[in-house]
Amino acid sequence: MKLIIAIVQDEDASRLISHLMADDFRVTKLATTGGFLRSGNTTLLIGVENERLENAMGIVEKVCKSRKQIATSPAPISGATGVFVPYPIEVTVGGATVFVLDVEQFAKF
């Protein structure tokens, strides 16, 4: 058995959960916050049998696509100490960060 830990952007989470559940995967959703843009993301815990791992990974890959987004980054004003103005930058968001772990024991009570 494997445990998939998938960190996805909030806007992809509900669609991913729906696709996984439609294919009979059980999912636990955790609300988390990303470090880079400090934006909300979702961490999903998905327990899968070894033979279904590739199927689950395929669903995550299909649903969670990366895309461009405009974010603001503070830029210093020249000559002014400690004064920052928002500066728009284009960043890539979305996709998924996925960890697959071996599960030594599983019990459901």
CA distance 67 to 93: 5
Q: Report which DSSP code applies to 40.
A: E
pLDDT at 83: 63
Quick: pLDDT tens for 11-23.
Answer: 889 999 999 999 9
Residue type, 100: V
Q: What is the CATH number of the domain that holds 19?
A: 3.30.70.120
CA distance 42 to 7: 6
> The tokens 């603001």 sit on which residue?
72
Q: What is the pTM of this model?
A: 0.75
Q: Report which DSSP code applies to 79.
A: T
Residues spanned by the domain of 12: 2-66+94-102
Residue 107 lies in a domain: no
Residue 71 lies in a domain: no
The answer to whether 40 and 10 are in contact (CB under 8 A) is: yes
* Count of domains for the chain: 1
